[in-house]
Chains A and B, each alone.
Chain A
Amino acid sequence: MSDRPVSASNAESLFQLYRDKSPEKPGIESKRKTVDLNGRDRYGFKISASFVDQEKYNTWWDQYSRYLIRRKLKWVKLMNKNGFEADEDSMPTKFPTRSEELKRYVRKGIPAEWRGNAWFYFCKGPERLSKNKGLYDNLCAKMDTLDEVNLEAIEKDLHRTFPDNIHFNDYSGEESLMIGSLRRVLRCYALYNPEIGYCQSLNFIAGQLLIFMDEEKTFWMLVIIHEKLLVDVHTMNLEGVSVHQGVLLLCFRQYLPLTWSVMREHDTINDDFLVNIPSLGICTTSWFMSLFIGILPVETVLRIWDCLFYEDSKSIFRISLGIFKLMEPQFVKTPEDELYHLIQSFPRTILNPNDLLDVCYRKLNSISHLKQQEIQLCKQYVINYRAKYKNLKHEDNNLLSNQERLKLLQEGIQEFGKPRVLKGLRWNSRLNKQIRKLRVESEHDI
């Protein structure tokens, strides 16, 4: 065994306050208040850092914590119904098999104390861990051999990760246990996956995981997240980030035509928008890179993570669309030069996670029709398109000559005009229309 210290994270003790609060027990009111009075939420984040004023936060929390208690009791019943022994105080490590019912429960929120285990379980973490026993410890043993560039980048970010959170910065002046765990996880992951190494934003993802599980599990979650949710997003050239932006833009066009039309009106969204991502598109870079940490209030991010880890990468897009859907009434009447500010500030006001999740998952909403297969095909389309463009691009110049542009468009038409490629997709008809338009234009040009 390595001499890796016991993990700093311990969900059981972290959520002690919360665990005592069952409706039958007396004193629940006062206990709920203790959490608030410290000016911190139950995860140790400063509430004042959450961009809503304390009073508004308290009013919301008063309601929401009741909801959480109700949900917890339902989860206990669900577990029992499925033959798992569980009560309010237990920390289950296994959960029922996937089902429509379980999915509904997940979307309504996993109990906070169970989150670490549940996320890990739903991501098939236990299998990975048991197949790779000792791997993390081996990495830990040689983590100092990581290259200088990555070591330095990690060191720069350790103390800039949740400095407002009591577990990361206990104001003692000494390094907290959590920072130690974070350093090891980030170094080990960088060693394990040299194609990514260390990328800024991994500090926040790993940091938030560490609040809910130990560092070995956090390590495996990072591995799984990059296979399942954030393919190529954190690689050296960050190509995946641009691809995600492109896919999101196509999703806007299909699912939020109003928002899309406003964007087109304000921004120079030309036919190259998948390559030269328009300015409004770049506001969402961090949404993908940090899986919404720092973008939305903490409880809202956690509810999103419940869905992300139970489901697949389409959830990232559904959530992004959901945020824009909630923002749409304001978006359409905001002057151009204030749109960036709106995109940045609005998400922070989504204090009640249910507001967002309803938009994303309620059957009535078109966003809930967005399917994984659609995202997959859409991604491939964007990847191919960008690759083709790059091949044509001049070494030192971003601009294509007209001729090259035409060639690219024609190739695009050949490739993507074939109905079999995009058959059955919701954005098919629009795309066809667009392609038809391009075809007419290009014939004109010749």
Chain B
Amino acid sequence: MADLVTQEPRFAQFKLVLLGESAVGKSSIVHRFVTDSFDDLRESTIGAAFLTQTIQLDERTTIKFEIWDTAGQERYKSLAPMYYRNANCALVAYDITQESSLDRAKSWIQELQKQASADIVVALVGNKLDLEAERKVSTKEAKEYADELGLIFKEISAKTGEGIKDVFHSIASKLPVEEKLNSATKRRRNIDLNRPSTNNQESCSC
């Protein structure tokens, strides 16, 4: 039980990239996550947009996501490496009412596995769950694919908010928090050593 007493609050920051075909709802997903709102009138994304959101993973752990919401049109693919470089996690989205969007998602996942850092945490999400009546992609098909590759899988709706928090929590719980903390403290220590503090200046009159 001594553990509980010594547990200090932890804070770690991770880079997340959002990928997927145009209009599957990537921007809507981030906005639901960041502002807990949904706007039917959303502009299409040019290049990429940057957003942040913090979540409480457990009683002592706070996680900050630095999110790159990218543009989905096929040709933007050539810019994508700039966005997923050094990413700790990726959320790859498809639209459950658009068969082709799952294929696109799969090709993103392939690319991530080849090009992104080896320990990247990947989640596959099927968006627009509220449009169940227009569904074209079965849950089974997508889930089997995700399981095979060991990805987080979830069907969500940016419109109703269903499943959004869960996904980000699942991602967060798979992230190497401890590792990140260690490297961050190390880096901070280095900086402190290099920077002469004002106190030192006074005492050191040599």
**Does B83 interact with chain A (Cβ within 8 Å)?**
yes
Cβ–Cβ < 8 Å partners of A290 in chain B: 46
Q: Is the CB of A341 within 8 A of B81?
A: no
Cβ–Cβ < 8 Å partners of B127 in chain A: none
CA distance A277 to B66 in the complex (A): 19
**Does A340 interact with chain B (Cβ within 8 Å)?**
yes
Cβ–Cβ < 8 Å partners of B41 in chain A: 160, 163-164, 169
Q: Is the CB of B42 within 8 A of A282?
A: no
Interface residues on B, range: 20 to 34
Nearest residue (CB) in B for A342 is B50
Residues 43-67 of B, flagged 1 when their CB comes within 8 A of A and 0 if not, give: 1111111101000000000000010
**Does A286 interact with chain B (Cβ within 8 Å)?**
yes
Residues 69-89 of B, flagged 1 when their CB comes within 8 A of A and 0 if not, give: 001011110110111011000
CA distance A236 to B73 in the complex (A): 10
Cβ–Cβ < 8 Å partners of A285 in chain B: 46-48, 79
Tally A residues with Cβ within 8 Å of B.
39
Residues 9-38 of B, flagged 1 when their CB comes within 8 A of A and 0 if not, give: 000010000000011000000000000000
**Does B139 interact with chain A (Cβ within 8 Å)?**
no
| Minimum distance in angstroms from A383 CB to a CB of chain B | 15
**Does B115 interact with chain A (Cβ within 8 Å)?**
yes
Contact of B42 among A163, A201, A283 (CB under 8 A): A163
Contact of B81 among A157, A289, A398 (CB under 8 A): A398
**Does A55 interact with chain B (Cβ within 8 Å)?**
no
By Cβ-Cβ distance, the 8 closest A-B pairs, closest first, are A285-B47, A163-B41, A286-B47, A286-B46, A160-B44, A340-B50, A201-B46, A156-B23
Chain B interface residues toward A at CB < 8 A: 13, 22-23, 41-50, 52, 66, 71, 73-76, 78-79, 81-83, 85-86, 114-115
Chain A interface residues toward B at CB < 8 A: 149, 153, 156-157, 160-164, 169, 199-201, 203-204, 235-239, 241-242, 276-277, 279, 281-283, 285-286, 289-290, 294, 337, 340-341, 344, 396, 398
Would you mind naming 23 contact pairs between A and B with Cβ atoms under 8 Å apart?
A149-B74, A157-B44, A160-B41, A161-B44, A200-B44, A200-B45, A200-B73, A201-B47, A203-B44, A237-B78, A238-B76, A241-B47, A241-B79, A242-B78, A276-B82, A276-B85, A279-B82, A285-B46, A286-B46, A286-B47, A286-B48, A341-B50, A341-B52
